[in-house]
Chains A and B, each alone.
Chain A
Amino acid sequence: MGNCCNGGGGTAVGGADFSPGGGPNDAVDYFLTSNGHHGLFSQIELSLSASNLHDRDALSKSDPMAVIYGKGRDGVLKEIGRTEVVLNSLNPKWIRKHTVAYHFEVVQTLLFRVYDVDSQWHDLDVKMLKLDDQEFLGEATCTLSEIVTKTYRSLTLDLVQEDESNGSNHSRNFGTLTVHAEESVISKTRTEFIFRCSDLESKDLFSKSDPFLVISKTVESGAPIPICKTEVLQNDLNPTWKPIYLNVQQVGSKDTPLIIECFNFNSNGKHDLIGKVQESLADLEKLHSVGQGEHLSIPTAVGQNHHKKICKSQLFVDKFCEKVEHTFLDYLSHGCQLNFMVAIDFTASNGNPRLPDSLHYIDPSGRPNAYQRAILDVGEVLQFYDSDKRFPAWGFGARPIDGPVSHCFNLNGSSNYCEVEGIQGIMTSYTNALFNVSLAGPTLFGHVITTAAQIAAQALAHNQQKYFVLLIITDGVITDLQETKDALVLASDLPLSILVVGVGGADFKEMEILDADKYGKLESSTGRVASRDIVQFVPFRDVHSGEVSVVQSLLAELPSQFLTYMRNIDMQPST
């Protein structure tokens, strides 16, 4: 009678403590909700047309071709593509489309140059053409965000020429170039799966497995990169997991091999592999349509050869559903705007602005301080998403002339309105405010967050399609952590995101508590929980000044936060 009775039910002892079983599921749910779409960068297809090109040929019309360049921050041009040559036309509509990856978090400058291709080169492939041998007709420049925020996503630009040798001539019309941007459908496609397994092997000695799936993307000669995972199901040998979602963009293509691994959850973090399969999205679609399962396998090493042990367990695809969803760019092209707001820390811990070691020191040579760099890094991206470019700008923690300490004062010095004109308006009012207030304290966030939330709520009341982005730049630890959490939880129901940039060398531990990426959901003192993550924090410590900014990682999250909000309130792009 020494045998263990593993079928005894109540007498079985689970291999994993079930308390942490809830934890990973909470985290997975929250992670999936927070990332409205995984890997939010879209492919944009650009198509070009031109009008009223200047006639260069004496005997016939021009034969125009356009070349598209991406311009880096250092001004270096990188050719993206060339159109075909359109014969005998001053109003060409080029057919070829050019694909550009859209990155919200950076300013992507495009340069277009139009050439008249001489007839002797007409038989050549356009890639073989030497541009110096062609007649230059004109050029135009813009940013990709200027195109995608236009209604119908079309932007018309004047073609210009530089270095006119005849300075005395009045400016001549070189025609216009129209750029049309379309988001490729593949970028908008999201696939919903429901996975089920049958006859899983028990990995725990005295109970059933607690299975979950991990889906990874294979990389050439590298470890697989996990892109998705299911929740953990307790004591289940025939599990059906909740739906999971994948973008083709995350995977690479529909034919990219994916590794699907089934693990037994262990609270110590060392999960047992139950089995795995390798399938592409196309393979999974086939499995679903024929209703077949795929046997899991376990790798075994025999000598130097690797073999696979085929398991009795099988993986089924109960649901495979592809949907084209509204994307961030859909909302933009239908008139939704991102409104930039800024709040600057004026507490005394920054140091006297007149001294060179102050974080607010205004260098006579014009070199920006950390506050100015953070404003520029965020503002130069976000300004393109606001049509009127009037930005609320606040300071906190200072004492105005003959007044008490204010934890939310208008940077422009006004007592009744907070908006300034453009990014330059923020910079000007910032330097003016520095010499018109006394730095004081303590550091409180709650007031500026509540003020921004009120503006967002009022925009809702006026039926405006606006989403607000508040940038808070601070040097220190906040004093009102709980009040800040309360304000953030209330604001999570509103169209608002908050970026917090820490400058200087203080300990920013409490900032990281506010960033849900690191510490989990915020909870207010009344027990209300943030319904979505609206805060991002980074310390502003450039390793390479001018190169990839740490602020870009803040901005890259914004489209996901935006889409989570739109999905929650079920708002479609207005038609």
Chain B
Amino acid sequence: MATTSRALEVTVISAEGLRLDRRRPLKKNAFVIVRTNSQNSRSTAASDDAGGSSPAWNEKLVVEMPPHAWFLTVEVRCRANSGDKVVGTARIPASDFVGGDVPANYLHFLSYRMRDGRGEPNGIINLSVRVKGAENGAGAAATCAAAASVSRPWVGGAVVVGKFAGGVVTGVPVWMA
């Protein structure tokens, strides 16, 4: 069966506890890039001074999710004189917001530990994700069918998270049937 791209409505809400170079709290000019692959990415505006190491964007982005994409990557960057600097990255498995028992257009409110370039924990990113265009019953059914057909590789894909997270493979039990 043919599976198609889905548009994701991603609201980047806020982040907490971001640091530069492990010791200096992030001050300003932080922005977020949301990406499913190199061709599908969106960016928020830069944050101002007020948020400090806990910036808030509350910005809604729409990004395409190709059928073969397993992750949504969320990156916090900081604009500096020497160019953009990656502050923290989180990889969100698609199984966290596609499929499962909840309605197809359910608004998921998600938080993730971010990691810096050396794999060290660096703050938390808060966002909400909704699959667009699944409001009506027929659309919801189609999306559920599509999700069901690929749900196993996605859950399996979660295992890959361990490898990317810095060389430590952790067991991920599959709780969702």
Q: Are B173 and A460 in contact (CB under 8 A)?
A: no
Closest to A525 in B: B170
- Which residues from chain A contact B96 at a C-beta distance below 8 Å? 490, 528
| CB within 8 Å for A569 and B165 given contacts A26-B124, A526-B172 | no
- Which residues from chain B contact A234 at a C-beta distance below 8 Å? 25, 27, 52
Q: Are A526 and B93 in contact (CB under 8 A)?
A: yes
Q: Are B106 and A18 in contact (CB under 8 A)?
A: no
Q: Using an 8 Å CB-CB cutoff, how does the interface string of A439-466 with B read, 1 for contact, 0 for none?
A: 0000000100010001001101101000
Q: Are B175 and A446 in contact (CB under 8 A)?
A: yes
Cα–Cα, bound, A461→B23 (Å) = 45
B60 contacts A by Cβ under 8 Å: no
Q: Using an 8 Å CB-CB cutoff, how does the interface string of A474-486 with B read, 1 for contact, 0 for none?
A: 0000000001001
Q: Using an 8 Å CB-CB cutoff, how does the interface string of B27-49 with A read, 1 for contact, 0 for none?
A: 10000000000000000000000
Q: Are B25 and A569 in contact (CB under 8 A)?
A: no
Q: How far is the CB of A356 from chain B (nearest CB, A)?
A: 38
Cα–Cα, bound, A29→B158 (Å) = 29
Q: Are A25 and B173 in contact (CB under 8 A)?
A: no
Q: Are A26 and B112 in contact (CB under 8 A)?
A: no
Q: Are A450 and B175 in contact (CB under 8 A)?
A: yes
A523 contacts B by Cβ under 8 Å: yes
Interface size on B, residues (CB 8 A): 49
Q: Are A568 and B109 in contact (CB under 8 A)?
A: yes
- Which residues from chain A contact B175 at a C-beta distance below 8 Å? 446, 450, 483, 486-487, 490
B9 contacts A by Cβ under 8 Å: no
B73 contacts A by Cβ under 8 Å: no
Residues 8 to 63 of chain A near chain B (Cβ within 8 Å):
18-19, 21-23, 25-26, 29-30
Closest to A489 in B: B111
Cα–Cα, bound, A83→B111 (Å) = 52
Q: Are B102 and A527 in contact (CB under 8 A)?
A: no
Q: Are B124 and A528 in contact (CB under 8 A)?
A: no
In the complex, which of the residues B106, B115, B124, B170 contacts A529, with contact meaning CB atoms closer than 8 Å? Answer: B124
Cα–Cα, bound, A242→B47 (Å) = 13
* Residue with the greatest number of chain A CB neighbours at <10 A, chosen from B23, B52, B176: B52
Closest to B16 in A: A26
Q: Are B170 and A18 in contact (CB under 8 A)?
A: no
Q: List 15 A-B contacts (CB under 8 A).
A: A19-B23, A26-B16, A231-B54, A242-B54, A460-B103, A461-B102, A486-B173, A487-B175, A521-B124, A523-B113, A526-B161, A527-B161, A531-B110, A531-B126, A570-B107
What is A's interface to B at a CB cutoff of 8 Å?
18-19, 21-23, 25-26, 29-30, 231, 233-234, 240, 242, 446, 450, 454, 457-458, 460-461, 463, 483, 486-487, 490, 493-494, 521, 523, 525-532, 568-570
What is B's interface to A at a CB cutoff of 8 Å?
14, 16-19, 22-25, 27, 50-54, 56, 90-93, 96, 100-103, 106-113, 115, 123-124, 126, 128, 158, 161-162, 165, 170-173, 175-177
Known: A529-B112, A531-B126. 10 other contacts (CB 8 A): A26-B54, A26-B124, A242-B51, A242-B56, A527-B112, A528-B92, A528-B96, A528-B112, A531-B110, A569-B106
| 4 smallest beta-carbon distances between A and B, as pairs | A457-B101, A529-B111, A568-B109, A22-B17
